[in-house]
Amino acid sequence: MTATFSARTEVATVGVVGLGDTGLPLALSLADAGTLTVGLDADPARIAALRIGESYVPQVSTDALEATADWFEATSDPTLLAGLDSYVICLPVPVGPDGAADLRHVMGAAELLGPLLRPGAAVEVRSHVPPGAITLLAARIAAASGLRPGVDFRITGA
């Protein structure tokens, strides 16, 4: 399953980082609505399954994967997310032994997305992060991109 992104004109493009129980259904919903969607996941087994039309998420059917095949592309290559309109981070935020949120995954995503963002891009964090984390993520993206939060890109939490 490979989406045809080279032929786009005025179609919205979104990158979804993390194709688990939240990210995969979201990515397919966006694709079903006519948004060219790139889903990024670090797990090669997930990418391989999606590329042959198999779902590993119970609420996502193989029919849903087939129906969105022209609008959704699963990858482990972050460069395919370069220059998209919007990004959604859907990564786990485990709780550490001290009870504090472990932001390692979402901070890593912010560092990864920073150089890929274009001015005017939007980033939405769908991960459950504590108060103040969006500000930290914005700073991390700004440091990696040279863009200014609130001016050159937007970031919000859901």
pLDDT of res. 150: 95
pLDDT of res. 4: 47
* pLDDT of 5 above 60: no
* pLDDT of 158 above 90: no
pLDDT of res. 9: 55
Q: Give mean pLDDT, residues 44-61.
A: 96
Instruction: Say how many residues make up the chain.
Output: 158
Give burial (CB, 10 Å; 0-12/13-18/19+) of 121. buried
3 state SS of 95: strand
Q: Give mean pLDDT, residues 27-48.
A: 97
Q: Give mean pLDDT, residues 38-45.
A: 97
* pLDDT of 1 above 70: no
* pLDDT of 44 above 60: yes
Closest to 129 in 3D by CA, of 85, 88, 98, 95: 95
Q: Give mean pLDDT, residues 120-147.
A: 95
Cα gap 98→8, rounded to integer Å: 47
pLDDT of res. 23: 98
Of all residues in the chain, the percent with pLDDT exceeding 70 is 94
pLDDT of res. 11: 83
Q: What is the pLDDT of residues 82-124, one digit of tens each?
A: 999 999 999 999 998 999 999 999 999 999 999 999 999 999 9
Are 109 and 72 in contact by the 8 Å Cβ rule? The answer is no
